[in-house]
Amino acid sequence: MELRQLRYFVTVAEELHFGKAAERLQITQPALSKQIRVLETELETELFIRTKRTVKLTKAGEVFFIQARQLLQQSEEAIKLTKRTALGEVGRLTIGFTATATYTVLPELIRRFRSRYPQVEVEMLEISTEAQVTAINKGEIDLGFLHPPIDSRGLELYPLLSEEFVAVLPKNHPLTAKESLSLVDLKQESFILHPRTEGPFLYDGFLKLCRQAGFEPQIVQEVNSHQSRICLVAAGMGITFIPAGLQKAIAQDLVCIPMSDLPSKLEFAAVWRSLDISPVLQKFVAMFQDILLWVVSANW
């Protein structure tokens, strides 16, 4: 049994007239009658009661009409869904991100993508840069928003923005009188940093800069979250560094001061597998490349 035969049968059942059904189907009436007989032979039952003047469905034909129409509707839906999936309009996208992404470009990108492609399921996972690289290479996530430099072999890296770091100190700290700070100013301070595993390039770079300034930094806490590090500063545990864009989230009992000799910047980029041909991923990448300039200018 073929879908073509089901369409022929349903059309005749709707028209209850072989001539009109043949005209709708754009085939000859004898060809249509032949296909219906073939279908009846396969089903081993009559589907229509035919007279010279009328065509009616048999009881079996009435049941088959309901089922055949449902099958045709399901086949049409399957075809539409397959085409939309191939176009990237239906599917699933798993995105990894660091905390930086949540206060820069990511919220606006996701909002726009979901508005444009509401039938794409988007899963969000907050994980470190190194973990994102591993997950992308394993195919566990489709796209990452992370902090270069990374081992980008086999990956596409799309730079998004670059931020200066500022020092975060308690409001009553003696150094808050300064308009800017140098690393030498901080040699007696306790530091609260991100773990080396989250960003070895920045971590090692900071240690190197401190040693070049003539001191070994006293690191008292290593914490993943920017917000957690800020809370520890507020509790008097030490000082930390955050990207300049996070200053708006700082409480009134803390002060952010620019660094005059901290060349390290927080780089931020999107990354995905070079050979990934997922239509959904391609739609997302094309979209954020198109609107990136608008998003960045709106946020900064």
Read off the pTM: 0.63
- Pair of tokens at residue 31: 């060809």
Place of tokens 């300064």: 178
CATH classification of the domain holding 246: 3.40.190.10
Phi, psi (deg, nearest 5) at residue 286 = -60, -40
110 and 182 together in one domain: no
Please tell me the distance from the alpha carbon of residue 287 to that of residue 212, in angstroms, as a whole number: 44
29 and 167 together in one domain: no
- Pair of tokens at residue 74: 């399901």
25 and 62 together in one domain: yes
154 and 279 together in one domain: yes
Contact 174, 163 (CB under 8 A): no
46 and 59 together in one domain: yes
Residue finishing a domain among 52, 86, 120: 86
56 and 183 together in one domain: no
Considering its fold, how many domains does the chain have in total? 3
Please tell me the distance from the alpha carbon of residue 5 to that of residue 8, in angstroms, as a whole number: 5
What domain range is 12 assigned to?
A: 3-86
| Residue 243: burial class (beta carbons within 10 Å; 0-12, 13-18, 19+) | buried
185 and 218 together in one domain: yes
8 and 81 together in one domain: yes
Q: Would you write out the chain's pLDDT as a tens digit for each of its 300 residues?
A: 788 888 888 888 888 888 888 898 899 988 988 988 988 888 888 989 888 888 998 988 888 888 888 888 887 777 666 665 665 556 889 999 987 777 777 888 888 888 888 888 899 999 888 899 999 999 999 999 998 888 889 999 998 888 889 999 999 999 999 999 999 999 999 999 988 877 788 889 899 999 999 999 999 999 988 888 999 999 999 999 988 888 877 878 899 999 988 877 888 899 999 988 788 888 888 888 777 655 444 444
Q: How many residues belong to the chain?
A: 300
